[in-house]
């Protein structure tokens, strides 16, 4: 029984991926819709990376900072030092990890809201600092102006992460999202994932079974910081621009949190599903209502979020999973399955 | 041979002394019963040995190593596992995954952990519920889960905090059989328990605590016939009615 539905889930994944592969070609004449898909993947990526912290039982309200750190590091390295963002993105990941260590090391050993508050405050401090700082030693932060990515060859230079059309960005964003979801899925099948689940379920019990909770939380957070920074580079390359006003903003942190929470906090596929639902709604509402009724789209967006949180506190993920299971049972219902001992998970 | 030595252990919470100058020795492969009225300090003793509280005074020596004041996870890695009186299953994981968390202590990878977890579940005769979720199982099963998890860590010494509280007699009998079996496989057990019948049949040696102190130590018969024990449990009046008063 289990075997069957697992193989169905993989088939569903393969099917969705196959559709995802042809979408940019079908929508070639409608770059705006391709843009929405790229945003879905970008936020799916960022929220899944953020969700790793959630899997270890903590909440980060400052993840925009790591988007910003990633984008700033790779972009400054490119602008002022000529380093290609393909390399710079990993430098960004290292910088984000170091900052993560500064916030996480003292606070993740404590129980209670200290970590969540620290991320929130750290985000506000760093954003304020970058917005108001032109030069940090030899590093040209350019203050409130932000970093406008200089285009090479009119923006058609794959060697420096610049592409003429949206399609390459689409596939890079898709690949990044799929990779991070796969990473999260695989981690969940190892000691690390098992320990994260234990720590978020009951820290005392976890520690009594030999788990250094603080250390495994720090691991989750640092991994999350590094991955989020990679997403920051994608952000900067795609928009050709990154500034602290938006790229390190509390509002961006909250967006990442909301996408994750609506989809299903602390699940592997939840944040991805959240992005698939929230981002198009948010974008389309803005496009439809943004002109005549400025602000109305935010109101509707807010109502939808309230509804989800009120009626689906575990997010949309269980609903989607149940739907998939229902579909799987329907499609296979012609051959009644016999439950064998192998099915019991051994 | 002594596996655990507890010397002059003391814990104060503000003005309240929860455990006062407690010392005892535990031999390898022994089952020691720790009994006493509510509030006597039994669980606090467990919490100090297992690293959840730092003792204000005294030492805990496990297999000739000083483990006083180590963190809970460090204590577990040295080979001491505990269960909780109020069970703490990982609610959103299956029983098997719950036990695997403990099994990772001695496993190199997930497959090995799964094998160890299965072995622990089979020892506890619990394999039939391996697929149930932590939030689905009832109290007796939760108690067994606690036991399986601690067993899977590979610890030599298990501190069992009321492993039979809230169970009906037939279930208690089952757990007693399991504990004997575990003990015969070489595990040393310390059991906190209220039910005197259970303690009498399971533990060759008993320590009775009352008001933070060790009151009586000995075989079940010695402890039961001690007037101090009767006073602690039933009050002065009943002690006075002892057929052979010591006065």
Whether residues A191 and B90 touch (CB distance < 8 A) is answered with no
In a 13 Å sphere around the CA of B205, the CA atoms on its Cβ side amount to 14
Per-residue model confidence (pLDDT) at position A4: 52
Whether residues B72 and A207 touch (CB distance < 8 A) is answered with yes
Residue B140 has pLDDT above 50, yes or no: yes
Using CA atoms, how far apart are residues B206 and B223, in angstroms rounded to an integer?
Answer: 7
Let me know how long chain B is: 247
The rounded radius of gyration (Å) of the Cα atoms in chain B is 18
Which of B87, B93, B104 best probes binding to A when mutated, by most A CB atoms within 10 angstroms? B104
Query: Regarding beta strands B205-210 and B213-218, do their DSSP bridges make them parallel or antiparallel, or are they unpaired?
Result: antiparallel
How far B16 CA sits from the closest chain A CA (Å)?
24
- Which long-range CB contacts under 8 A does B227-232 form with residues at least 24 apart? B232/B36, B232/B37, B232/B208
Per-residue model confidence (pLDDT) at position B247: 47
Q: What is the predicted ipTM?
A: 0.88
Cβ-nearest to A209 among B94, B96, B149: B149
Quote the distance between the C-alpha of residue A337 and its chain's center: 38
How far B207 CA sits from the closest chain A CA (Å)?
24
Which of B81, B90, B121, B145 best probes binding to A when mutated, by most A CB atoms within 10 angstroms? B90
How far A206 CA sits from the closest chain B CA (Å)?
8
Q: Provide the token pair at A112.
A: 């209670």
Cβ-nearest to A344 among B91, B105, B130: B130
Using CA atoms, how far apart are residues A203 and A296, in angstroms rounded to an integer?
Answer: 43
Instruction: Give the residue from chain B lying closest to A198, CA to CA.
Output: B90
Query: Which single residue is written with the structure tokens 């957070």?
Result: A221
Instruction: Give the residue from chain B lying closest to A194, CA to CA.
Output: B101
What is the CA angle A186-A188-A191, rounded to 5? 105
Other Cβ atoms within 10 Å of A205 Cβ, number: 24
What's the pLDDT tens digit per position in B181-225?
Answer: 999 999 999 999 888 888 888 999 999 998 899 988 999 888 888
Q: Which chain B residues are within 8 Å of A198, Cβ to Cβ?
A: 90, 93, 101
Mean pLDDT by 10 residues, chain A (346 residues): 61 88 90 94 97 93 96 96 96 97 91 90 95 91 92 90 93 97 94 95 94 96 97 96 93 91 87 91 81 75 82 84 82 52 41
Per-residue model confidence (pLDDT) at position B238: 66
Per-residue model confidence (pLDDT) at position A324: 81
What is the CA angle A19-A236-A91, rounded to 5? 105
The rounded radius of gyration (Å) of the Cα atoms in chain A is 21
Q: Which chain B residues are within 8 Å of A208, Cβ to Cβ?
A: 50, 52, 72-73, 76, 81-82, 84, 150
Please give the CATH number for the structural domain made up of A2-344: 1.10.3470
| Superfamily, domain B1-70+190-247 | P-loop containing nucleotide triphosphate hydrolases (3.40.50.300)
pTM for this entry:
0.89
What's the pLDDT tens digit per position in B50-104?
Answer: 999 999 999 999 999 999 999 999 999 999 999 999 999 999 999 999 999 999 9
Burial (CB count within 10 angstroms: exposed 0-12, middle 13-18, buried 19+), residue A83:
middle
Q: Provide the token pair at A213.
A: 């909770």
For helices A31-55 and A213-239, give the axis angle rounded to 10 degrees: 170
Q: Where are the domains of chain B?
A: 1-70+190-247
């Amino acid at each position: 029984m289990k075997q069957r539905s697992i193989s169905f889930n993989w088939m569903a994944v393969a099917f969705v991926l196959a559709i995802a592969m042809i979408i940019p070609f079908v929508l070639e004449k409608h770059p705006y819709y391709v843009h929405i898909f790229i945003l879905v993947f970008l936020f799916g990526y960022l929220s899944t990376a953020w969700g790793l912290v959630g899997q270890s039982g903590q909440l980060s309200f400052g993840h925009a900072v790591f988007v910003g750190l990633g984008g700033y590091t790779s972009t400054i390295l490119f602008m002022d030092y000529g380093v290609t963002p393909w390399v710079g993105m990993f430098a960004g990941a290292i910088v984000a990890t170091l900052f993560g260590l500064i916030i996480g090391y003292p606070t993740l050993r404590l129980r209670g809201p200290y970590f969540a508050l620290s991320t929130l405050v750290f985000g506000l401090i760093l954003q304020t600092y970058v917005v108001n700082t032109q030069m940090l030693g030899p590093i040209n932060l350019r203050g409130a102006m932000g970093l406008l990515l200089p285009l090479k060859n009119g923006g058609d230079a794959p060697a420096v992460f610049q592409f003429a059309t949206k399609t390459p960005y689409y596939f890079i964003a898709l690949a990044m999202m799929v990779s991070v979801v796969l990473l999260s899925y695989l981690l969940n099948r190892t000691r690390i994932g098992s320990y994260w689940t234990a720590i978020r379920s009951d820290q005392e019990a976890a520690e009594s079974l030999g788990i250094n909770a603080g250390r495994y939380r720090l691991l989750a957070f640092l991994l999350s910081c590094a991955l989020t920074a990679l997403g920051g580079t994608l952000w900067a390359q795609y928009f050709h621009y990154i500034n602290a006003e938006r790229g390190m903003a509390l509002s961006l942190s909250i967006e990442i949190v909301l996408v994750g929470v609506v989809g299903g906090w602390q699940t592997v596929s939840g944040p991805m599903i959240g992005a698939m639902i929230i981002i198009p709604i948010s974008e389309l509402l803005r496009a439809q209502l943004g002109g005549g009724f400025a602000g109305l789209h935010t109101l509707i967006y807010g109502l939808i979020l309230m509804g989800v949180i009120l009626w689906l506190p575990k997010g949309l993920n269980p609903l989607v999973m149940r739907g998939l299971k229902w579909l799987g049972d329907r499609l296979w219902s012609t051959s009644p399955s016999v439950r064998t001992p192998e099915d019991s998970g051994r | 041979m002594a596996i655990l030595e507890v010397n002059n252990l003391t814990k104060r919470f503000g003005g309240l002394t929860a455990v006062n100058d407690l010392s005892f020795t535990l031999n390898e492969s022994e089952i020691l019963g720790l009994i006493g009225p509510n509030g006597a300090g039994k669980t606090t003793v467990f919490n100090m040995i297992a690293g959840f509280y730092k003792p204000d005074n005294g030492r805990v020596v496990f297999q000739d190593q000083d483990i006083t004041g180590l963190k809970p996870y460090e204590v577990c890695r040295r080979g001491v596992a505990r269960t909780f009186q109020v069970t703490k299953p990982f609610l959103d994981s299956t029983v098997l995954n719950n036990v695997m968390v403990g099994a990772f202590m001695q496993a190199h990878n997930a497959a090995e952990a799964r094998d160890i977890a299965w072995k622990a579940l089979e020892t506890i005769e619990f394999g039939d519920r391996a697929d149930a979720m932590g939030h689905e199982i009832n109290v007796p099963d939760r108690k067994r889960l606690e036991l399986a998890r601690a067993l899977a860590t590979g610890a030599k010494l298990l501190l069992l905090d009321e492993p039979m509280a809230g169970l009906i007699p037939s279930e208690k009998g089952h757990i007693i059989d399991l504990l004997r079996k575990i003990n015969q496989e070489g595990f040393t057990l310390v059991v906190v328990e209220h039910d005197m019948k259970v303690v009498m049949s399971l533990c060759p040696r008993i320590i009775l605590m009352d008001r933070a102190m060790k009151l009586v130590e000995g075989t079940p018969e010695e402890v039961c016939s001690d007037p101090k024990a009767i006073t602690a449990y039933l009050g002065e009046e009943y002690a006075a009615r002892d057929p052979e008063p010591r006065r």
